[in-house]
Amino acid sequence: MKIAIPLIENNGKKSKISEHFGHAPYFGFINLKENGEYELEIIKNPLEEHGPGDIPHYLNEQGINILIARGIGGRAIMFFEQLGIQVIRGAEGTVEEIIQALKNNILEDREYEVKEHFHKHNSDHECNH
């Protein structure tokens, strides 16, 4: 199983997950083996400037089966679903903590609202929550 996690740093297994997947400076690629051990490769995000669907297609080309993210938009999730890549949202912590939670079957997909917004919003628009 091959997993991708967007990361804010390149600090090996101690690297923390990024707030928003598309603008993460790095991606961790985890090759999870049947015995529970894993190999980690961290690469610089080659698509920090990207269009809709670019990152899902890139990760699909890398053979990714699962994307574990913190915050991710609905449109991106749609692209991943079309490519057959499972998305788990709302994750937090380091690569090591996330993979341990996955192996222990306690990593659940849950809604997560990104606290840092990268997309411009119309300031005249009122939002009623």
Rounded to whole angstroms, how far apart are CA atoms 16 and 37? 19
pTM (2 d.p.) = 0.85
Mean pLDDT of all residues in the chain? 86
Higher pLDDT, 87 or 51: 87
Q: Beta partners for 29?
A: 4, 41
Angle formed at CA 97 by CA 95 and CA 100, multiple of 5 degrees: 105
Q: Identify the structural domains of the chain with CATH numbers, from first to last.
A: 2-45+52-103 (3.30.420.130)
- Structural element, H or E, at residue 38: strand 38-44
Rounded to whole angstroms, how far apart are CA atoms 99 and 9? 17
pLDDT of residue 112: 81
- Quickly count helices (H) and strands (E) in the chain: 3, 5
pLDDT of residue 7: 97
Res 64 pLDDT > 70:
yes
